[in-house]
Amino acid sequence: MYDLVTAALQGQDLPQAARLLKQWQQTQPQDPWLKLAMGHYWEAKGELEKAQAIYTRLLQTAANTKLLGQAREGVQRLRDQWARRRQQDLSAARGQPGAEATAMLVLQPVMGAQREPAIQGLSQIMQLDAYTARLKLPTQHWRLYRVGPAGELRYFCEQLTAHQTPAFWASLEDVKAIPVFRVLAIQSFTPQLTVICQNPQGQRGTLQLHWQEITQWVLGQLPIYESVVDLDPWGKLKRKETTQDYAEILDWHLHRRGCVLRFCDRTYRYREAAPLPTADAESTATPLVTAVAWKALKAFFQESIQPRPCNDFTGFGAGALDFMDLLPAFETHLDLARQEPTPWDGAFHLYSSLRFLLSPAGRQ
């Protein structure tokens, strides 16, 4: 029967091969050669994933040496076909308009029963061994996985998503196109919010909005470095950079207006700001210490803004630092009076912008 099915497939007579396989299943459903023939059938139909599953199962269970050899050959043929198809699809993707623009591919965290299929998808699409794919696929935070041409990353993202590996991509131009205004102070809280802000050119203005317009908000901490003198292992004085403190950044995403309002605990002008509606008379009469005032401001935001904040930047940022040098220069919209630039600022702006772009409100 195996020879008959093989002859039908070689003659490209798929209906005849299907009839023979059905008869074979009725008489000898456990025959391993039937399973091999089924693999050949799915391979001929172009159902490569189904064929691979059969060949792989045979490699794990079959004992016949000849049958094992045929299964190995089948696996190799599938790999060759995938490689050719991948190269063709990549060539087509590279030829699309805008394909050369710089873009980023981000992997999303996967847990539970969905993790194993996601690992297999990442392994197959990105041509990784299973162990490496398991290490690369995040469990808690977004991971910036690759920086490169938009055409390629769009193709990889589509393939990963089709293979149950959650991922998304965005171009750097999309990130740069989001207007960001730095908040100097909130001038009033009622009857609506009046925010004093500054555009990238340094021009001041006011913006009035309602709490409901804040579709998403993002929190992040950025290290503040200081140059100190320390002893090296040989007892000699050595100057080095060390983290002395952290600045906290808070972004409001206003998707209907298509912009971001950026707060910073270091640059917020507490003395110019309106007192919080929840503050008592004593606290409004005496200026609060900056750290306490910022904490009170965040707590008030927690009560007033419906969505919970996105506050997993640190997990994303630690991995994104390695990619900052691969990206063309872009404005971070942060003014922390640093002595030396740090990639952490760019990583936060990237994270917040990607959150803005991926939000359901941002895709409407």
Residues 254, 140 share a domain: no
CATH of the domain at 155: 3.30.1390.10
Residues 189, 144 share a domain? no
Tell me the residue length of the chain. Answer: 364
Q: What is the 3-state secondary structure (H, E, C) of 77-103?
A: HHHHHHHHHHHHHHHHHHCCCCCCCEE
Residue 204 and residue 138 share a domain: no
- The answer to whether residues 187 and 246 belong to one domain is yes
- Domain boundary (59, 74, 93) is at 93
**Of the residues 147, 175, 203, the one at which a domain ends:** 175
Q: What is the pLDDT of residue 281?
A: 40
| Dist CA 330 CA 309 (whole Å) | 25
- The H or E element containing residue 246 is strand 237-254
Which whole-number Å values give the CA distances from 328 to 76, 110, 172, 173, 175, in the listed order? 40, 30, 8, 10, 12
Say if residue 185 is in the same domain as residue 331.
yes
Residues 226, 348: one domain?
yes
Q: Are residues 284 and 332 in the same domain?
A: yes
| pLDDT given for residue 165 in this prediction | 97
The tokens for 338 are 């640093």
Of 133, 154, 175, the position where a domain reaches its end is 175
pLDDT of residue 232: 63
Say what the pLDDT of residue 151 is.
94
Q: In angstroms, rounded to a whole number, what is the distance separating the alpha carbons of residues 287 and 84? A: 68
Considering the domain architecture, whether residues 245 and 340 belong to the same structural domain is answered as yes
Cα 305 from chain centroid?
Answer: 25
For the chain of 364 residues, list the mean pLDDT of each consecutive stretch of 10.
87 89 88 90 88 89 88 89 84 87 96 95 92 95 96 94 96 96 94 94 94 95 77 65 85 96 94 81 50 90 91 92 94 86 94 93 55
CATH code, domain carrying 15: 1.25.40.10
- Domain of residue 50 covers 2-93
For residues 201 and 294, membership in a common domain is answered with yes
- Number of domains present in the structure of the chain: 3
As a whole number of angstroms, the distance between CA 298 and CA 292 comes to 10
- CA gap 166, 356 in Å, rounded: 17
| Predicted pLDDT at 170 | 96
